Each structure stands twice: as C-alpha cells, then as structure tokens.
Chain A
Amino acid sequence: MNTRTVNLNVNGDDLILNVPVHQTLLETLREQLGQTDTKYGCGTGECGACTVIVDGDKSLNACLTLTATMEGRSITTAKGLVKNGKLSEVQEAFVSETAIQCGYCTPGMVMKSTSLLLKNPNPSEEEIRKELEGNICRCTGYDAIVKAVQKASLSFPLIKNAAE
C-alpha cells in the first residue's frame, strides 16, 4: 500500500500523519484521529455531512479530499469551533432555534453556515438557502436551520478565520 507523510493542522493541533494515499480526509479524521464529529453521509459530495473548513475560510467535502494532497493545510471541524468549552455563535443558535433533530447533518450545516458568515456576515434568507444547497437535511425541513443562521448572524463577531 502506498503511504505518505503529511503535515496537517487539525483544529489548532499540528500533526504529522502517515496516511495511505487513497485515504480521504474524512477517513483520516474519523478513523485515524478518532474525531467523529465530521459525518459520513453519501461519500460522493452531495449531502454535505462531511463539510469541513480548510485554511480558515474554504468549505470542502472531506469525503472527496485526499489527505495526501493536503500537505501544510489547516482543517477546522465542528469541535474546533468550540472555544474554552463554549459553543460558537452558530452552534448556540442551532441549539436555541431547535435546528437539530437527529443531528446527523448538523456538523456539516454548522461548518457551512460558519463559512458563509465569515464571507457574508449579514446574509439574506435567499443567500442562506443558496449557500446551504450542498447540505441535505432529512428531518427539519430547513426552516429552523435558516432561522438559526439568521440568529447567529446577529451576534457573529467580525473575524476572518474559523481557526481564530
């Protein structure tokens, strides 16, 4: 099996990983690092459950990313948004707006919403729905999720980087 050594920063921790070249970032996070906050939904980039943020502001499907091609990059996942035990503004809003039912889409939704607010701190409803087009929810019907993002935008700090 072909493996490669990769330097990766995951949620603020600098790691040196040895990964098979055909391993996806999703597999690395869940199986090698035991970080199961990022979910496997479809494996083909259609459901968004595996959404992570790369280099502070770029949302990507971890299931379609080969870890071996991510040398030197920084990855933020849902648990990386928690600072000193405190949920982020987006995470809090998902809780307070009951935008979570089974919870499976939630980490992906939270990551995508976070990357949206980093670029556009005051999105319209249409912009929110458009930006969440790549995240599928089978439970909520999306309205509570949209409300959560709108609520989060009211208190979202002016930061440029999800890793801050």
Chain B
Amino acid sequence: MSSRILPEFELKTPQSVDETLELLATYGDSAMIMSGGSDLVVAMKMNLSPDTVISISEVAGLDKITYAPGQGLRIGAKVTIAQVLQNDAVKELYPALWQAAEVFATPQIRNSATVIGNLLRGSPAGDCSCAILALGGHIVLQNQNSNRDVSIDDFWTGYNQNARKGDELAIEIRLPPPSAQTRTIFKRMTRVNEDLAKINASVRLEMDGKLCKGARLAIGCVGPTTMRLPKTEALLTGSEINADILASIADMVATEISPIDDKRSSREYRIHVSGVLVKRLVQQAIN
C-alpha cells in the first residue's frame, strides 16, 4: 500500500545536454531522469525511491518535433503528447502516433507527459509505445563519450526494462518517412481513455492496391512488453488482402500472444478481442 507521500531525494536541474550527461556519468544508476514527471512522480509516491532526480525541465533544445521529407520525423526528449497532437505533420503522415496521442491519459497529463517517457517506462500498455513499434524507428541514446541508435524493435528487453544504460540520456526518437503507400492506424480497448488500455494495437501496412508489400503489427497488454506479431505479419506480407486472409488473422494473432488476467482485463477477453482488433485495424487501414 503506498503512502502517496514523496520520498526525499537530491534534485539536479542541468541547463544543457552536456551538463545532463556529466551528471549521468556521475550518478548513473542511482538517478532517475525526469521531464514532465507525470509517471515518475506517481512511481515515487508508490514505491520508487531514487537517490537523485535529474530534471531536464530547464535543458534547452530537446522540445522540438521536426519533419523533413526523405528523412522522416524527429521527436525530442521533452516533446509532450500535447505537442504531438498540435503537429500537422504527425497528424497527416504518422496517423497512428497522432491517434495514440488523442486518447492518451488526460488533457492535463498530455501537457507534461513526453513521448520518449512512454517508451522509456516501457509498460506493455503504453499507447505511444504501441504506435511507434508499428511505425518503426529508433531511439538515439547519448552519453559523455558517444551516441548510439537502438531500433524500437530491440528497445524493450523485459517487463518495464529497456536498452538504455544508466549513464545515457535518450535524446530523441527518429521515425522513417512514410511512402505514398503507407497506411497506419492505432486503437485501444478501454472503458474510459483515462484508464490503462485493456488491449492496444497498431498496424503499419505498405499497400499496392490490394497487395500488401509490407506489414508491421504491434500489440500491447498481451505480454511482458509491447510486441510485434511476426506470424500474422507473414500472413499478410506478399498477399492480396482478401476475405480469406482477413478471416485467418484472428486465429493467427491468438497463437502469438501470452496475455494474463490482471486488474484491467482477463486472459480470455484479451485472447478473443486481440484477433478481432487486429483484423479490424487491417480492414480500416486498407480502406
């Protein structure tokens, strides 16, 4: 049972990325990084007690969304869900991410929560996580000595765990540019949007008429991390998406997921509805 009282900690408010990386080199694993704090403050009220909190609230330059044709989308570490919602390039070219932002938590939380924070928390229920896994892309991690890119496909290493090392700052997310044939969509199953999703799913299809040339299917809340559906993707890729293919999606999805009973939903519901949800998203994406 939580006290909902914040523990004491050391607070650092660096003014630049360099200063942040210096702090991370020193404090590494005993520090948590905070931007909006909507997730971290709750976690600290429940059971998390870091020695040091490094707030990047005063670090300049990490709050931009930029799109360049041919290069794609770059989302800085401090970019909030609200900023994503207000961005025309995201709405038009990465609709799955925009749709995830639209139903994300509450309007107040959207003003402080960050897209990168959703990925770093790595909850299998993360809405932005689901959309970005379908869209594809990578996270840029930086420490004092170097930077490296980690594909979103390799980013989550276990339940609430990710590839970021203690001395690294996740600087930005980069998503590839869509083509004229790209179709993306996101949906979550929930009673009210404020709740964590019972299931969320997102698809990215490259369509040439009815022929599917590529498929990325992402689903959340049915395993320890947000996950792809490789067998269902193989079913679609290289096929004309007709009634037979659509009819076989649900059964294939059920073979790839490992949902559990929890506070939000049951294993049985998730097994049944996951397949229906993915099928409907594919149908909607190709129409």
Using a CB–CB distance below 8 Å, which chain A residues touch chain B?
1-2, 4, 20-24, 43-46, 48, 51, 58-61, 63-66, 68-69, 71, 112, 131, 133-135
Contacts and interface: CB of A to CB of B under 8 A. Distances in A.
A59 B111 contact: yes
Given A66-B55, A69-B58, 6 more contacts: A2-B10, A21-B11, A45-B106, A48-B106, A61-B109, A71-B58
A131 B109 contact: no
B112 A64 contact: yes
The 6 closest A-B pairs by CB, nearest first: A134-B106, A21-B11, A43-B4, A22-B6, A69-B57, A64-B41
Nearest to B38: A64
A25 B108 CA distance: 14
B192 A44 contact: no
B159 interface: no
B110 to A, nearest CB: 9
A133 B57 contact: no
B37 A69 contact: yes
A68 to B, nearest CB: 6
B243 to A, nearest CB: 34
Given A64-B38, A69-B13, A69-B37, A133 B8 contact: no
Contact of A65 (B8, B112, B192): B112
B108 A134 contact: yes
A112 B107 contact: yes
B8 A48 contact: no
Given A21-B11, A64-B112, A133 B55 contact: no
12 contacts: A22-B11, A44-B4, A44-B45, A45-B42, A61-B112, A64-B42, A69-B13, A133-B193, A134-B107, A134-B108, A134-B194, A135-B106
B38 to A, nearest CB: 5
B269 interface: no
Contacts of B193: 133
B192 to A, nearest CB: 7
Interface string B14-47: 0000000000000000000010011001100100
B7 interface: yes
B82 to A, nearest CB: 8
A51 B9 contact: no
B112 to A, nearest CB: 6
B241 interface: no
Given A22-B6, A22-B7, A60-B108, A66 B58 contact: no
B211 interface: no
Contact of B9 (A22, A58, A112): A22
B45 A43 contact: yes
A24 B41 contact: yes
A64 B9 CA distance: 15
B276 interface: no
A70 B57 CA distance: 9
B105 interface: yes
Contacts of A68: 11, 13, 55
B119 to A, nearest CB: 19
Contacts of A46: 106, 194
Contacts of B112: 60-61, 64-65
B37 to A, nearest CB: 6
A64 B192 CA distance: 21
Contacts of B9: 2, 21-22
Given A61-B108, A134-B108, A22 B194 contact: no
Interface in B205-247: none
Nearest to B12: A21
B108 A66 contact: no
Nearest to B106: A134
Interface in B87-132: 105-109, 111-112
* B9, B37, B53, most chain A CB atoms within 10 A: B37
A22 B8 contact: yes
B4 A134 contact: no
Contacts of B11: 2, 4, 21-22, 66, 68-69
B10 A21 contact: yes
